Structures are given as structure tokens and as C-alpha cells.
Amino acid sequence: MIYGKVVTEEGEPVPRAEIQVLRQSFRDGRRVMLPVAWLGGQDDGGFAIGNLEAGTYYVRATPNRAAAADRHVRTDRRLIEEDYVTTFWPNAIDGSSAVPIFISAGAELRGIEVRLRKASVYRIRGKAIELGPAQAASQATLSLRSANDYPADNLNVILANSAGEFEFERVLPGTYIIEASLDSRASTPVRKRLFGRRMLTVGNGNVEDFLIQLGEPAQITGKFTVEGRLTWTSPVQVLLIPVDGTHNTSAIAVRNDGAFQLSGIVPDVYRVKVAGLPDKSYVKTIHFSGQTANAGLVDLTAGDGSIEILVSSEAAELSGVVLNGRGETALGAVVQIWNDANIVRSVTANQDGSFHIAGLAPGEYSLIAWEEVVPELSQDPNFRRRFQPWTTLVSVREASMTNLTMIGVPRELSAAEASQ
């Protein structure tokens, strides 16, 4: 249980604030915050959150606007407001400065006081229009999110009015992404979903006359080619995974002739992955509209394109055994492998401590084995760096087989580091 209170900078209680408890995770090597619990605070600012598993958490509070209508101060000359904003415990506006809270099994943690911070906030006014022929995107749905944070828990969503006009209020300085969506007019022969996406920076003033255009989503064609010979045991799918997690993953099966097509893709940046490949294979190259897609990233914000995927049948493999500090097999140990792009894969060792990792592209990798570890912490590159003595470096070539003996990080050590 976490017991706490939300107060102002002066220590006054903040009634009925929105409280969120978040856990840290990592997506493609990038730190993200995932909400696991939320509730409304009490009239006296107090809150209590239960049913939390042992682990590391972050707590943040957002003032209830209806209960705090008189707390902001407007400077009419510059049309600037100073207001209480979403704040992480103990008093950080930016999630990167938030202090984690570690809760052990069955523990009660009291005295968590979130002291809300004041900051200058601004507005964004603009208009959404449909492309060809241009007309107001009446009742379009618009979302505003930080370009630097995981957006799923940080969306500000509004509707445009009948003239396509919109306004976001109380926006902190920073770089943002505005996205808009709208069903096409009922009078059109085929009802389609329209999308728009633009970045903007809010500095030390309001943003006026911001224009966002909505058009049809992207259409992607592709070709899947195999280098060598492979035996297929399951259908192969091409997946487009949004890097920031805002949209759903798109997937399509590859036809027998190697062709595939994805329709209705929301303009965004995606990572291309291939599911269903045999263990002996790996994705050798990915090209998007004739250009190499480094780390499988493709930018669909400009619209349609083509993807070419080359798969090799000469993947590398790793096998090994995990021992504890006494030289005994570490059954159930977690083995992680990553490259310079921090792409992490995890496997669990068998009862005899053995493990096997297949489908590796040639290159340099790091490996570490844990007797036991908090999953979200093991995804953190900074956390893994604390265990350099237990990290193994390995270089693999096409079609190579490498055998390793690894010493697992003692569970007592990983638990001690997790509590810091």
C-alpha cells in the first residue's frame, strides 16, 4: 500500500487530484512509463493505493481543474498563465527527474507527499482541414502528446468545432506531436478514415493559427525474398510496430510469391519486424522506398512507400549453461542478449541451466544471466551497466554456433541494486 497526500507549493491540501502509479519499462531501449493504477484523491488531498506487487514505482498527481479553478494567475499582457501542473513525487515536473519508490512484498509505505509545482503554461490554437479539396475538418479528434515521452499515458484529446478550429490549454514549453483523425463524409462513395500529424515546439508564448491537414492513411506494398533454402513451419507475417506505442501494430501475412500489402496505416514512425521465421534464419536487410532502413525503422509520415525484406538462411546460434557462484546449475535463470541498438531478447534457462538462442544476425552482442531480477529493471541499459563483471561479450558470424558458460548475477545482488 502507498499512503500519501497532494499539496501545493505552500503545503495546502489539493482536493480530488488525479493520482497515477506508474512502472518503468523500456521499448526498443527507450525508457517509458506505464500506468498500473490510478484513482481520485480525497477532499483533504489524501490518497491510498493498494494491490501493488513488489517492485519499483513512480507516483504522480494532476490537479483537478474543477476543484482548482481559482488557483492560476493570468498575465493579460502576454496571455500567459501560471498554473499548477502534473507533478511526480516528490516535486518533479519532468518524469526523467522523478524519484522511484521501492515497495517490498506486503509493505505499507506512508508519508508520500506530492508537492505540486507551478509553471508557465500556454495555449495552442489552430485549425484542422481536409485535403483535396480543402475544407474544414469538422469534429475531428485531435491529440497532443510530448515528442519525448511515452504517449499512451500522456494524451490530451479534444474535438475540433464545426469550423475545424481547436484549442489546447495549459501546455508546458516543449516539443509536441499533434495528431488528428476523422471519418470521411458520409456522402463519399467509400467511407474512409483521414489522418494528420505535425510536430511543433511551444516556447515562451502561445501558439496561434496552427494548421494541420488530414489525408488518407498510407498504403504499403512489399516484397519478401529469401537468400538460401528454408523450411517453413508457420506462416510468415510482416509487422509494423509504432515506435512510440500510440497506434496499434499492423500485421499482414506474406503471400506464397513473397508479396505483401498493408493498407490504412496511420502516418508515424514504425519498426519493421518479421514473425514466423525459422530458427536458422534472420532478417539481413530492410529497404524502404530504395533506402536502407537502419534498425528496421521506416518513416511513414510522408505517406505511401514500398518495403523490401531480405531474409538469410545462415543465422548464428548461441548455446550455453548458467551456473551460480558455487558452480551449481542455475535453473530458471534469465539470460538476456542485446546489441548496440539495445534490442533485448530474453530466454529462460532449463532445469539443467542450459539455454539456446537462435536466429541471430551477425554482429557484436552482450549477454548477462540473472538468477532472479525485476523484469522492467532488466530492460534498463543503465541498470545492466552496474553488472559489468557478469556481462559477456561475444561476436558471431553467419551460420556460427557459439557455446558459453555464464555465471548468473546473484539474486541478492540484483535485489539490493533494485532497491536503490
Q: Map residue 37 onto helix, strand or coil.
A: strand
Q: Please tell me whether residues 263 and 306 are part of one structural domain.
A: yes
- Picking from 273, 294, 312, the residue at the C-terminal end of a domain is 312
Both 150 and 104 in a single domain? Answer: no
One pLDDT digit (tens) per residue for the chain, 420 residues: 999 999 999 999 999 999 999 988 776 666 778 889 989 999 999 999 999 988 889 999 999 876 554 444 344 444 458 899 999 999 999 888 899 898 888 889 999 999 999 999 999 999 999 987 778 999 999 999 887 765 444 568 899 999 999 999 989 999 998 999 998 654 455 557 898 888 999 999 999 999 999 988 889 999 999 999 888 778 899 999 887 766 677 889 999 899 999 988 888 889 999 999 998 999 999 999 999 999 899 998 878 899 999 999 999 999 999 999 899 999 899 999 999 877 779 999 999 999 999 999 999 999 999 999 988 788 888 889 999 999 999 999 999 999 999 999 999 999 888 777
6 and 109, same domain (yes or no): yes
Residues 7 and 102 in one domain: yes
Instruction: Say how far apart CA 305 and CA 106 lie, in whole Å.
Output: 53
CATH of the domain at 87: 2.60.40.1120
Report d(CA 48, CA 40) in Å as an integer.
10
Tell me: do 81 and 128 sit in the same domain.
Answer: no
Q: Which of 150, 179, 214 is the last residue of a domain?
A: 214
Q: Is 209 in the same domain as 249? A: no
How many other β-carbons are positioned within 10 Å of the β-carbon of residue 354? 13
Domain final residue pick, 312, 345, 368:
312
CATH number, domain with residue 324 = 2.60.40.10
Q: How far is CA 232 from CA 68, 227, 229, 338, in A?
A: 61, 14, 10, 26
Residues 245 and 145: their CA atoms lie apart, in Å, by 12
Same-domain pairing of 359 and 371:
yes
- Structurally, the chain folds into a number of domains equal to 4
Find residue 24's DSSP bridge partners: 33
Q: Report residue 209 as a C-alpha cell.
A: 493559427
Range of the domain at 301: 218-312
Contacts of 344 (CB under 8 A, 6+ apart): 26, 29, 336, 337, 338, 378, 379
Do 303 and 329 lie in a common domain? no
Same domain for 227 and 207: no
The pTM of this model reads 0.75
79 and 151 assigned to the same domain: no
